[in-house]
Structure 1
C-alpha cells in the first residue's frame, strides 16, 4: 500500500535553468506572449456569449463579467507565480506534477484536455455564424443551413468550423514562429474592431435598457458568470508556451498580467456598450449579435460587415492559440510517459510536433462539426475552473515545499485561497449534467492512468533506476 501511494503521488523534479531537452525552440518574446493570451481569450466569448448570458442574467450580466474577471484574475495571478517558477510546457498539468504528484497531475490533464479540446471546438462553432453574416453582407448569400450548424440544431455538419480547424492545423504544422506572427496581426485587428464596435454602440445608448437591472436576481448573475467564464480560458494558454518562451521566468508572469488587464477592459467595455444599445429581450437566440447591434444603430450593413470580418479574424486567432495549447499539453504528457509517444515527436525541419497537431485537429474538427456551442461552452468552463483550483493549491504547496525557489513573480498567500473559493462558487451554479459529464470524463482519464500511464511513467522509471543503483551501492 505504501508503495502504491508513493507511485501515485511521486513528484516530477522542477527543471533548473533554461536548458532545453524538448526539441522545441525558444522563439517567443514578451509582446507575442502577451498576444497569445489575448488572442486565446478575446474571441467567440465576447462575440457570442452575450446571446447566451444576457437572457439568464439580464443587464446585470455586467456584474457577471466582473465576477468572472475577478475569479479569472485571482487564478491568473497564481498562474503568473507558477509560470515564473516552473517554466515548462504543459501549463497546470506540469505545475500539478511538480507539486502535488502524478495522480493529481493526470486529473488536471483531464481538465486541460477538456478545456482546450472542447473550447477549440466551441470557438470554431461560433465562427460559422459570423462567416454567414459576412457572406450575406458582402455577397448576398449564406451557406446552406445543412452545412453551417450542428445536427442538434437541424443541420448535418458545421462545415465552416471544420474548415477553420484545418486551416489552423496547417499553420501550426508550418512552424511556431509563423503562427505567432499571424496571431499578432489578428489580435491587433480584433482589438481595433471591438473598439470600433463600442464606439458605434455607445451612440445608440439608452439608459432605459438598464431599468430592470437584475430580473433574475443574484442566482441569474452567478449563472451568467458560469457561462462567461468560458471567455477567460485563453489566459492560461500563455503557460503552455513555457518551453518556447524567451526568458520565461520574467516574461511568462508579465505576459499573463498584461493580457488579463487588456482582456478585462475590452470585455466590460463591449458588454456595457451592447447592453446600452439593445434591449435585453433582443439578445436571446441572436446570431452574430455584435454585427446586428451596430447595423440596427446605423441603419446600414457596413458596420456589421466590419464587425463580422473582425469576428472571423478574431475567432481564427482564438482557435489557433487554443489548438496550439492543446498540442503542447499532450506533448508534455507524452514526454512524461502519460500519453502515447506519438505526441512528443518533433519534426526536425519545422521544430513542431506534427503528428500531435494532426491527431488533435481531427478530433477537434469532429467535435466542432457535430456538437452545439452551448454544451461545449459549459464543459469548457468546468474544466477550466477545476484546473484553476489545482493551480491555486499548487502555489500554496510549492511555497511550503520550496520556499527558496527562484520566482519571477510572487503573490500574497491570500490570493490562491480566494481563487479556490471563487472557482468553487461558480462551479456550484453549473448545470448538474455538466458536472456529471465532467466527473465521468475525469474517471476515464484516471482509469487510463492506472492501466497505462502509471506503468510508463518516466519519473517512475528514473526513481526505480535510482533505487536499484542505491541498493547496488549498499551491497
Structure 2
C-alpha cells in the first residue's frame, strides 16, 4: 500500500512525533463514549450492541484508510477543511468547513457537559435531576473551556505533552474496570431476548443515536495536526489505524463486561429499563457488584476522560478555524512554527465552544445531533479521494487505499446510511440548515461573481442534501423502512452511487504547488 515518494521539505513547525499523534487519536476517540454509551446501547440493542460496536469500528476504519491517503499526501495543518478546497474548490470547501467547525466545537461542549454530569454524582450541586447544569455547574464548564483555551494558545508540543499525560491517566481506569468486571462475569444476561425490535433495526439505531459513531470518530484531530507532524507520510497512517483498532477493542471489551455484570432482576422487563437503571453505567455497575472504591475512581476518571477529549478537539477546532479563515481570506497565514493558530481563529473557536454549552441540558440530548454532524463532516471524504485520483493521478501518495473503486463508494454509502438512521427530525434539521446555508452561499457567489471556482460541485452537493431529506421523510412513518422495503433500499443505494460517481467526476484542476 506504499510507494516511494519524496519527503516534504524540513519544516520547523513539525514538532509532533508518532507517539504524540497516537495519543492525540486515542485521546480524541476515547472520551465520554465509554462513560455513557454502554447502558444506552444495551437498552437499544441488548446483546446485539456488540455488533453495533463492531460495525461502527469497521466504518471508522474504512474512513481512516481514506484519511491515511489524504493525510500522507497532503500533510497540512487543518487539512480536513483544506482537502475539499483542493479537490473541488470553494463551494464544497465552504460546505465541509462549516459542518466540520460546528461538529468539532460541539464535541468540546459535549465532553465538558459529560464531565460535569458525571461529577454531579459526587457533587449534586453541579446539576439538576434532569441532567442540566446548575449555575455552579455551568461555571465549572466555563472554567474548563478557559483552561483548554489557554493550553491551546501554547505551542503544539506543549499541548501534546499535556495530552500524553492525560490520555495515559484516562485509559488506566477503563483497563482496571475491564479486569475487575471480568472476575464477576456471568453469561446469563447474554441469553435475555431483545424484545419486539428486530436485531438489524436495533443495531443500526444504536449505531447512529446510541453514541457509538460519536465514540469512534476521533480520526480528524490526527489529520488536523498533520502539518505539525514529523515524517507525516509514515506517522499519519500508523497513528490513524492504531487509534481506531486499539479503541475498538477496548470499547468491545467494556460493553461485554458491562452486559456480563447486569443483575438478572434488572432484566425482567428486557433491556428497555437499563439506561434508566444505570445512567452512569460503569459507576453504577461497580456499586451493584460491591466495588465502591472502583466506582469512586470511575467518577474521577469520568472528569479526566471527557476533559482530555475536549482539550484535543479544542486544539483541532482552532486548527480547522485557522485553515478555514485562511481559505476565506479572513486571516493571515500563520508562519510562526510555535503558534500555528492566530488570534482570530482562537477567538472564533472559543466562542463556538462556549455557545454549544448554553442550550443543551445533558449528554443524551447532544449526542445524537453531534454524531450526525460528525458523520456529515466525514461523508464527502471518499468523494475527495476519488476526485483527486482523477485530477491529480501523479500526486505523490506514500499511502494508497487498496481497491478505491470499492472502498470509496462503500464508505460513502455506509456513512450516508448512518446519517439516515439518525431519524427524520435530526436529518431534516441538520441537512435542512446546511442546504439553506449552501444555497445562500451559492447565490452570493453568483451575484457577486467573485469567483466561479468550485461552483460545478454545487449541483451534486445540493442534490445529495435534497435526496437525503426526501429519503429521511420516506423513512419516518415506519422505523427502518428503508431497510425493510427492497424497492426503497435499492433506490437509496442507486441514488448514493450516482451521487458518488457524479461527485468523483466534478473535481477541479489541481495546483501541483499544493503537493509540497
- Check if 1:73 corresponds to 2:55: no
Query: What residue is the counterpart of 2:205 in the other structure?
Result: 223
Query: What residue is the counterpart of 2:420 in the other structure?
Result: 428
**Could you tell me which of 396, 401, 407 is aligned with 2:386?**
396
With normalisation by structure 2, the TM-score equals 0.77
Over 3 Å counting, the alpha-carbon distance change for 1:27 and 1:458 in structure 2 is farther
Shift of 1:41: 0.8
Superposed, which structure 2 residues align to 1:242-281 within 5 Å?
242-279=226-263, 280=271, 281=273
Shift of 1:156: 9.0
- Check if 1:206 corresponds to 2:198: no
Match of 1:243, SS?
Answer: helix
Query: What residue is the counterpart of 1:290 in the other structure?
Result: 282
With normalisation by structure 1, the TM-score equals 0.83
Per-residue CA distance 1:61-88 (angstroms, 9 max, x = gap) = 1111111111111111111111111111
Shift of 1:277: 1.0
Kept in 2: contact 1:157–1:369 (CA 8 A): no
Kept in 2: contact 1:110–1:441 (CA 8 A): no
Kept in 2: contact 1:193–1:306 (CA 8 A): yes
Query: What residue is the counterpart of 1:446 in the other structure?
Result: 438
Shift of 1:163: 2.4
Over 3 Å counting, the alpha-carbon distance change for 1:31 and 1:433 in structure 2 is same
- Check if 1:177 corresponds to 2:157: yes
| Larger mean Cα displacement after TM superposition, 114-123 or 353-362 | 353-362
Kept in 1: contact 2:96–2:377 (CA 8 A): yes
Per-residue CA distance 1:161-183 (angstroms, 9 max, x = gap) = 32222221121113322111111
Query: What residue is the counterpart of 1:383 in the other structure?
Result: 373
Kept in 2: contact 1:238–1:252 (CA 8 A): yes
Superposed, which structure 2 residues align to 1:241-390 within 5 Å?
241-279=225-263, 280=271, 281-284=273-276, 286-297=278-289, 299-337=290-328, 340-341=330-331, 350=339, 352-371=341-360, 372-390=362-380
**Could you tell me which of 96, 101, 119 is aligned with 2:107?**
119
Superposed, which structure 2 residues align to 1:8-23 within 5 Å?
17-18=8-9
Query: What residue is the counterpart of 2:491 in the other structure?
Result: none
State the distance in 1 between where 2:445 and 2:304 align: 39
**Could you tell me which of 33, 36, 47 is aligned with 2:24?**
36
State the distance in 2 between where 1:42 and 1:366 align: 23
State the distance in 2 between where 1:142 and 1:96 align: 46
Query: What residue is the counterpart of 1:192 in the other structure?
Result: 172
State the distance in 2 between where 1:346 and 1:312 align: 35
Over 3 Å counting, the alpha-carbon distance change for 1:158 and 1:61 in structure 2 is farther
User: What is the number of equivalent residue pairs in this alignment?
Assistant: 432
- Check if 1:237 corresponds to 2:221: yes
Over 3 Å counting, the alpha-carbon distance change for 1:130 and 1:458 in structure 2 is farther
Point out where structure 1 has 5 or more consecutive residues left out of the alignment.
1-14, 461-475
Match of 1:169, SS?
Answer: helix
Q: Cα RMSD (Å) of the superposition?
A: 2.9
Match of 2:76, SS?
Answer: coil
| Larger mean Cα displacement after TM superposition, 431-440 or 27-36 | 431-440
State the distance in 1 between where 2:351 and 2:141 align: 12
| Larger mean Cα displacement after TM superposition, 161-170 or 75-84 | 161-170
State the distance in 2 between where 1:369 and 1:149 align: 13
Point out where structure 2 has 5 or more consecutive residues left out of the alignment.
1-5, 264-270, 454-516
State the distance in 1 between where 2:340 and 2:420 align: 42
Match of 1:50, SS?
Answer: helix
Kept in 2: contact 1:337–1:456 (CA 8 A): no
